[in-house]
Amino acid sequence: MAAAVLGVASLGQAYAATELVDNGSFEDQTLADGTSLFDVVTGWTLTGNSRLTNPVAGSTQPAPAVIDGANYLRLLEGSSLSQSLTLDLSQQYTLSFNYFLKPTFAAQVSVNGQTFNLTDAQGSFSQTFSAAAVSTLLTFAATTGNLQLDGVSVTAVPEPAAAALLLAGLGLLAARRRQRGEGQA
C-alpha cells in the first residue's frame, strides 16, 4: 500500500506542469500601488522601452483583462521583449498570456519559429506547440501602439499515458481503501 502511495505521489509530481518562463507575471520587482518602473524587466531581454506598472483603481491606464499578481508590463511601440526557453524535443507545450491592445494597435508573439498576430482589444492567448529545437526564443513585439502584457506562461502538456497512469493509480488506491473499510465493518 505504501509503495502504491509513493508511486502515485511521484507520478503526480511528474504530471504537474513546470513553468518554463522566468518572471512571467512581472512580479520580481516590487512596486507601490500606482507606480511604474521604466525599462527594467527581470529575467527578460528588452529592446526599446517598457513600463512595469502596478495599477490602482481609477487609473487612466487600463490593465490586462486578468491581472496575474500586482504588476503588468506595458511594452511601448517598436519595442520587443524576449526570453530563451529550454525545451524537450519529445514534448508539446502550451504558451498562454493575458494582453490588452487599444483597437488600432497591433502586436506579435513568436515562439518556436511561429509568429502570431495580436489584434484583438484584449484577451487571453493560448497556443499549443511541439518543440522544434532544444532552445527557443519567446518574443513579444509591440508593432503599432503599446502592448500591455501579464501572466506569461509556457508549460509542458501532460502526456496522455502519464495522465492515464495517474488516474489508474488513484483508482487502485480508492479500491484498496474501500476494501479495507468493508473488512472492518
171 in a structural domain: no
83 in a structural domain: yes
Cell digits of residue 83: 526570453
Q: How far apart are CA 10 and CA 36, in angstroms?
A: 42
163 in a structural domain: no
Domain CATH for 120: 2.60.120.260
Q: How far apart are CA 177 and CA 91, in angstroms?
A: 35
Q: How far apart are CA 93 and CA 87, in angstroms?
A: 9
Of 94, 85, 78, 86, nearest in space to 46 by CA: 78
pTM assigned to the model: 0.76
Q: What is the pLDDT tens value at each position of the chain, 185 positions in all?
A: 444 444 444 444 444 579 999 999 999 988 888 788 888 899 999 999 999 888 875 566 656 655 778 889 999 999 999 999 999 999 999 999 999 998 889 999 999 999 999 987 788 899 999 999 999 999 999 999 999 999 999 999 987 655 555 566 667 666 666 676 666 65
177 in a structural domain: no
Q: How many domains does the chain have?
A: 1
181 in a structural domain: no
Which pLDDT does position 154 carry in this prediction? 97
Q: How far apart are CA 175 and CA 81, in angstroms?
A: 51
61 in a structural domain: yes
Angle of helix 2-15 relative to helix 160-184, nearest 10 degrees, comes to 150
Q: Which domain holds residue 115?
A: 16-157
49 in a structural domain: yes
112 in a structural domain: yes
Which pLDDT does position 89 carry in this prediction? 92
